[in-house]
Amino acid sequence: MRPFDGRRILLGITGGIASYKSAWLARLLTQAGAEVDVVMTRAAQEFVGAVTLQALTGRAVHTELFGSAHALDHIELARAADLVAVAPSTADFIARATHGHADDLLSACLLATEAPILLVPAMNDRMWAHAQTQRNIAHARQLGYHILAPDTGPLAAGEGSGPGRMPEPETILAHMGRLLERPGTLAGVTVVVTAGPTREAVDPVRYLSNRSSGKMGVEVAAAAWRRGASVRLVAGPLSVPVPAGIEVISVETTAEMAEAVGAALPAADVLIMAAAPADFRPAAPATTKIKKRSAPARVELVSTADILVTTRAQRKAGAVIVGFALETNDVLNGGREKLAAKELDLVVVNDATEPGAGFGVDTNRVTIISRNGEEVALPLMDKRDVADAILDRVEVLRRGT
């Protein structure tokens, strides 16, 4: 899975209660295709066992700086790493690392590596707020270390809630992915992505919508963010989480989505319309709940705004515009018609009736059609990989090659 497949990750774990999350992070990295070398401090071993990490990664866990056949572990591990991440990073470890200490295997690896280094602080909120910790964090940034700031939330038992909580493994994984991507392929680019369904009220309780989870749009937004873009996600109700770092504008109706897209377009270098907005709405929504005994024989429907058409005037000159076409018959012709009618640079077409390629699944099979007539049919693959394939094509269009 891009960008982890075949990459070598050095995952450092220090002695904080948050280290229990590191086991899941190791698992996520391995599932993504990375080779994970875990280095644990002595304090970390008081919280989670090395055998747990070895079982999750399928690789030996490293704990000692000195010992038989371990004299050069810090050099070998440091040179092999494509990325070093220390999660959690305790206040003590950050202090030692930023002052050049090398009295354990993990701190020695930081001095010996040329790979990007990500520190993920996790500690008591008062320790995080202490002036010395903040000076150490500032020094770490000056040294070129990347810092993923802690979340605000419940701390260790009895310590209440505050800033200092280690971010969730999925968030850490997203930031690691950004550091592993090719340098700045979309750096400085503003990307607007739409995702999810919209809902059109029938009455205050019921609505018209569809089965979109929003996963495809969220994966596109996440992939653009990993590549360095500034990403704004205009989203209807989602069934999937959005990674940290992405600005989310939540909407309910198709009209609200059109308004939000129109407002964002003048600054957008790329628009990717991956949402599934409702095409119809009730002409006269009821103001109170419709009772069964007095239900109307029919509900009159009217068309909603076509977002790609109504926002055409707001497009930035030279912006790349990508649409999606979900069809159930005559699939490719439906995509070609949408490409022309809505003046798109690319349209991504898929068949809603195909198993594994419709709503509510993690995979998709699409054909990407370009304005020049080129058609690229992709095999059934994870939606994350589909997102990267789309952005690869967007980058080609932006380069003009």
pLDDT tens digits, one per residue of 346-382: 999 999 888 888 788 899 999 999 999 999 999 999 9
Asked if residue 223 lies in contact with residue 245, where contact means CB atoms within 8 angstroms, the answer is no
Residues in the chain: 401
Percent of the chain surpassing pLDDT 90: 81
Alpha helices in 81-214 (DSSP H): 91-98, 105-112, 125-129, 131-142, 169-180
Q: Given this model, what pLDDT does residue 122 score?
A: 95
Instruction: Give tens-digit pLDDT for 304-314.
Output: 999 999 999 99
Which whole number is the average pLDDT over 232-250? 92
> By the 8 A CB rule, do 25 and 175 touch?
no
Tokens, residue 195: 């995702």
CA distance 155 to 163: 8
The larger pLDDT score, comparing residue 229 to residue 245, is at 229
The encoded tokens of residue 50 equal 């090395």
Statement: residue 162 has pLDDT above 90 = no
Domains and CATH numbers, the chain: 8-180 (3.40.50.1950), 190-399 (3.40.50.10300)
Q: Is 210 a known active-site residue? A: yes
Tell me, what's the pLDDT at 71? Answer: 55
Q: Give the pLDDT confidence score for residue 2 in this predicted structure.
A: 80
For the stretch 257-282, pLDDT in tens is 999 999 999 999 999 999 999 999 99
Distance CA 16, CA 10 (A): 18
Q: What's residue 180's pLDDT?
A: 93
Confidence at residue 42, expressed as pLDDT on a 0 to 100 scale = 94
Within 10 Å of residue 82's Cβ, how many Cβ atoms?
A: 19
* Paired strand residues for 39: 12, 62
> Which residue type occupies 152?
T
Q: pLDDT digits over 132-150, tens only?
A: 999 999 999 999 999 999 9
pLDDT exceeds 60 at position 11: yes
Burial class (CB in 10 A: 0-12, 13-18, 19+), 68: exposed
- Selected catalytic residue, list 210, 329, 333, 350: 210
Tell me phi and psi for residue 384, to 5 degrees: -65, -40
Neighbouring CB atoms inside 10 A of 386's CB total 24
68 CB-near residues (< 8 Å, 6+ apart)? none
Q: State yes or no: pLDDT of 189 exceeds 80.
A: yes
Query: What is the pTM for the complete model shown?
Result: 0.84
Query: What is the rounded CA–CA span in Å between residue 28 and residue 41?
Result: 21
Residue 70 has pLDDT above 80, yes or no: no
Instruction: For the beta carbon of residue 339, count every other beta carbon within 10 angstroms.
Output: 20
Residue 72 confidence class, pLDDT cut points 50, 70, 90:
low
3-state DSSP: the chain helix, strand, coil percent, rounded to 5?
35, 25, 40
User: What is the rounded average pLDDT of the residues 71-86?
Assistant: 88
Question: Which residue stretches of 317-362 are H helix?
Answer: 331-341
Q: How many CB atoms lie within 10 A of CB 357?
A: 19
**184 band by pLDDT with thresholds 50, 70 and 90:** low
**Cα distance between residue 163 and residue 184, in whole Å:** 30
Give the integer Cα–Cα distance in Å for 51 and 3: 27
Cα separations (Å) of 114 from 117, 127, 144, 166, 325? Answer: 9, 29, 11, 25, 44
Beta strands, E only, 236-283:
247-250, 270-273, 280-282
**123 vs 145: CA distance, rounded Å:** 18
Q: How confident is the model at residue 183 (pLDDT cuts 50, 70, 90)?
A: low
